[in-house]
Structure 1
Amino acid sequence: MLFLAISTFFEFLCILLYAFVFPKLPIVKYYRTKAASEGSKTVAADLAAAGIQTEATERADANAKQLERLSNKQLFFQNIDYLLDLFLTYVLTLSIFPGFLYENTGSHKLGSWYALVLIAVYNMFDLIARYIPLIEKIKLKSRKGLMIATLSRFLFIPCFYFTAKYGDQGWMIMLVSFLGLTNGYLTVCVLTVTPQGYKGPEQNALGNLLVLCLLAGLFSGVALDWLWIIGNGKF
């Protein structure tokens, strides 16, 4: 109950911050104004609700062409590889983490702390990896490169299986760290590269498509997580 109460408190706190504090931040105002100037109707409505008028809002009827954008279907097919990258990234990650780490890691010197250490290692390296793309020289922008990197992550499946069966805890911790690194790095690369070159309304729609694929990947990965118990004496 204490966990539920704390979680609920922070949930409502985040909602209040998003509703009353977030819109007042200068950087948020800047990007919302920029998106509205490119014809984003939803952002223009947010700005109007906040009492901020933009030139695009005032001349929306006169600039009908400016409001034209690619349809969601066109955006989907133009960026299907990026969407697939994000989907497959989370299918693979959630099919291993955290279920497999709790069920198939065997007994080691760390005892009951072993799974918790693996979870902590994953989260730490996932967080670190999300800041790596800030270094432009090592940020992966190639569509082909992102797809190859995403598909190559499926090699983690046999690696985790054989490490859990024959390896020691050191190898498992190393594998988990690489899982976190690749997950965080590829997520940020895909989310930041995909909207480039599009107008505000199109970027907004692409963001929705990316989130949809991310959630689909999460759901599919969790659904596939049970496959690890096959051959583990629990199926």
Structure 2
Amino acid sequence: MTIDGAVTQDEFQGSLPPKKGQYSAYAVCWLLGIGCLFSWNSMLTIEDYYQYLFPDYHSSRVLTLVYQPFALITTFILAYNEARINTRQRILIGYVLFFISTFIIIILDLATSGKGGLGTFIGICAMSALFGFADAHVQAGIMGDLSYMNPDFIQSFTAGLAASGVITSGLRLITKSAFENSKDGLRKGALLFFSISTLYELFCVFLYTFIFPRLKVVNYYRSKAASEGSKTVVADLAAGGIAVSDQNDVEESKAKERLNNKELLKQNIDFGLDIFITYILTLSIFPGFLSEDTGKHGLGSWYAITLIAMFNVGDLIGRYIPLIKVLKLERRSWLTIAAISRLSFIPAFYFTAKYGDQGWMLMLCILLGLSNGFITTCVFTLAPKGYKGPEQNALGNILVVFLLMGITSGVISDWLWLIGKGW
């Protein structure tokens, strides 16, 4: 594969990526990260509204349970075939689906005049499934895409994922306060919430279509990946104004040199397990346990929203800690120890919910988020080092599969908190 207008592989050796556009790329990655989970976090953050509409359906748990299998199965299929998939088209499909499904939720609420019932709940569940399908296209696609670029781009994207939670939590607190004393206040706040989310997803479609592929530093890394045999970047380079001519014999020789997915998995199984353990623990507590099983406290209906907000703030801070080099975990054994040690959160949350006050619970939520964000960023930025572009892309996809396996298992485990309580 030769790239017209781009540097050759020989020129890459010893060369440095252009500094121009670095900070723009950080910003765009952060904004795209927000868009990846903005719609889903919007649905999670208005759980007080869905609890009001569907009091008997355990909406916080059911919606998550519907979302995750679609995200996991679709991601697994796409990750298995990632070397042959047009990454640009894949990611754009995801953001367009986020936009459409979020808009449909608004239409559904307006069409039913904000009334509950099984039919409305099934419609909400269908949109949750569509969120999972869209997430599979976007999250693993971008993680793979950024894995052969500057590790700081991954950090910015993962920070954006966490920032979406902070932003949605902040907006929910504002809308709940603004409409608290008005008729249908919960509904008005929810509709405003999803309206903002719909517009933001449309903004992400524009951002990824026209801005990201034009950044010089992004084209540098994509050109480098193409010179190493990556086929997934062809459409992205074309969108950036760089012509790519195919040479099948070159591509085949490069493909033979790269490690296959099985070999990559074998070499990085510890990273995959670190992510799996981290997310099975996190999702066994967040958001279901925090929404339904923490008892009644002085904050009343604000309590669950505040707990979720504290987790999201901690998660965001945790994803910036690895930027401080002395605090970043770069030894694989220490990352595994850190992931396993988080299992202590289960008894901590149980006894705090039963005997502790809200101050202790708020602190635990911050620590849960802090450790979740920290381990996630360390693993995703460390794992791709030492591989070629096509292998780094594949590894990014594989790690997201483990992430979603952990989330799905955590969502199922979250139901165990209901044992003995009656449904």
Equivalent in the alignment of 1:209: 398
2:220 to 26, 30, 44: 30
Give the counterpart of 2:356 among 167, 186, 192: 167
* Aligned-partner Cα distance in 1 for 2:220–2:228: 13
Report how many residues are paired. Answer: 232
Equivalent in the alignment of 1:148: 337
Deviation per CA, 1:163-185, whole angstroms, max 9, x where unpaired?
Answer: 10011111111111110000000
Q: Over residues 108-139 of structure 1, what are the superposed CA-to-partner deviations in whole Å (9 max), with x where a residue is unaligned?
A: 12111111111111101110110100111110
Shift of 1:48: 3.5
Alignment of 1:130 with 2:323, yes or no, is no
Superposition pairs of residues 179-218 of structure 1, within 5 angstroms: 179-218=368-407
Within 2, Cα distance between the matches of 1:31 and 1:219? 33
Partner of 2:48 in structure 1?
none
Q: TM-score of the superposition, structure 1-length normalised? A: 0.91
Q: Distance in 2 between matches of 1:135 and 1:174?
A: 23
Identity %: 62
- Which residue matches 2:289? 100
2:422 is matched with 234
Shift of 1:39: 1.9
Mapped to 1, the partners of 2:261 and 2:400 lie a distance apart of 14
Unaligned runs of 5+ in 1: none
Q: TM-score, normalised by structure 2?
A: 0.52
Q: Which is worse superposed, 79-88 or 65-74? A: 65-74
Which AA in structure 1 matches 2:401?
L
Q: Which amino acid aligns with 2:271?
A: Y
Tell me the equivalent position of 1:7: 197
Post-superposition CA distance 1:163-218 (Å, at most 9, x none):
10011111111111110000000000000011011000000000110111112222
Q: Which residue of 2 aligns with 1:61?
A: 249
Q: Structure 2: which amino acid aligns with 1:193?
A: L
Say whether the 8 Å CA contact 2:273–2:402 is kept in structure 1.
Answer: yes
**Higher deviation after alignment, 61-70 or 152-161:** 61-70
Tell me the distance in 2 between the aligned counterparts of 1:19 and 1:78: 34
Report the equivalent of 2:259: 70
What is the alpha-carbon distance in structure 2 between the residues aligned to residue 104 and residue 91 of structure 1? 18
**1:16 corresponds to 2:206:** yes
Q: Residues 81 and 69 (structure 1 numbering): CA distance in 2 closer, same or farther, change over 3 Å? A: same
CA distance, structure 2, for counterparts of residue 75 and residue 63 of structure 1? 20
Separation (CA, whole Å) in 2 of partners of 1:26 and 1:127: 28
Q: CA deviation at 1:154?
A: 0.7
Find the aligned partners of 2:339 and 2:356 in 1 and give their Cα distance: 25
**Distance of 2:229 and 2:383 partners within structure 1:** 19
Superposed CA RMSD: 1.9
Q: Distance in 1 between matches of 2:201 and 2:249?
A: 39
Identify if the C-alpha distance between structure 1 residues 64 and 6 changes in structure 2 by more than 3 Å, giving closer, same or farther. Answer: same
Structure-1 residue corresponding to 2:280: 91
The more displaced of 116-125 and 222-231 is 222-231
Please state how far the C-alpha of 1:61 moved relative to its aligned partner. Answer: 3.3
In structure 1, C-alpha distance between the alignment counterparts of 2:329 and 2:311, rounded to whole Å: 21
Structure 2: segments with no counterpart, 5+ residues: 1-105, 107-190
Shift of 1:42: 1.0
Distance of aligned partners of 1:44 and 1:209 in 2 relative to their CA distance in 1, 3 Å threshold: same
SS of residue paired to 2:242: coil
Q: Tell me how far apart the structure 2 counterparts of residues 229 and 24 of structure 1 sit (CA, whole Å).
A: 50
Distance 1:204 1:136 in 2: 24
CA distance in 2, matches of 1:63, 1:113: 57
- Measured in 2, the distance between the counterparts of 1:63 and 1:12 equals 35
Q: Secondary structure at the match of 1:61?
A: helix
Amino acid at match of 1:234: G
